[in-house]
Amino acid sequence: MCWDKKIFAKYKVSNLSKKNITFLNVLKKYIDSEVSLVNVTIKLDTRYLPGDLMSKLLRNVLAGAGIAAVGAIGTKMAVDYFKNRGQEEVVDESEGDANPEAISSEEVAYVVVEESSVQDFLDKSFGDAGRYVPNRPPKVFDYQGEQYMVIWAEDTKQNKNQMMAFKYTDEGRKMVASVGYTDEKTDYNLNNLDSTPFAIEVNDEKLASGQGETAGASDVDFVLA
């Protein structure tokens, strides 16, 4: 993986705590360099590495996507988080990131992101600058130890709105839901969503798998199944 800004840090393994060694083992999947038994050389972008294991790798999600965070990582009840179509409250950086060990199974750890960096992510991911334009605050969150990103955007080529949901795994980013919607119809591909605890909600109806079309909608939500 390539990092735009590289800062090299060297650690002696003998000086690392067990927790930090665990962190390095996870981070090995995201770095370019070899890791030796005596010295560890890692290419780090320090914007994405504050706090305690980056609140279950949420900041690795941002780093990989090239998306910038606003404030620290916060927590919220999952039901309330997914109901909110607006921007979440920004947690002041002075408060530090939420402690992953203190988050219950009914909460999410979330991060607010800069809208301009989401545009950059869409342009680079789909290779067609300006086609997708964010039209609703994205959601980047950790739920029960898994990391997700959901983006809502206008598809300026097909004149419709698009919701795209990604899950992050050891193999990288995987799209689990793609939904295009207008007032006339909604088309969806949810072939990978049934492996998650989530569904999409269209006109108060939850859909968690399959591919097809349904009635048009003014908005589509990403919710608990």
Per residue in 110-169, pLDDT tens? 999 998 899 999 999 999 999 999 999 999 999 988 999 999 999 999 999 999 999 998
Per the model's pLDDT, the better-predicted residue between 173 and 199 turns out to be 199
> 25: helix, coil or strand?
helix
d(CA 61, CA 80): 22
Q: Residue 204: is its pLDDT beyond 90?
A: yes
Mean pLDDT over 202-222 rounds to 97
Alpha helices in 39-188 (DSSP H): 54-65, 78-83, 115-126
Q: Which of 35-39, 56-60, 125-129 has the highest mean pLDDT?
A: 125-129
Q: Residue 45: its pLDDT value, please?
A: 38
> 189: helix, coil or strand?
strand
Q: Residue 210 has which token pair?
A: 């399959």
Q: Residue 22: its pLDDT value, please?
A: 43
Contact 182, 162 (CB under 8 A): no
Q: Burial-class residue 127 by CB neighbours within 10 Å (0-12, 13-18, 19+).
A: exposed
> 67: helix, coil or strand?
coil
Q: Residue 191: is its pLDDT beyond 60?
A: yes
Mean pLDDT over 80-98 rounds to 93
> What are the DSSP E strand ranges found in the chain?
7-12, 39-44, 69-77, 107-113, 132-143, 146-155, 160-169, 172-181, 185-189, 198-202, 205-207, 211-215, 221-224
Q: Residue 55: its pLDDT value, please?
A: 60
Q: Which of the four pLDDT bands, split at 50, 70 and 90, describes residue 15?
A: very low
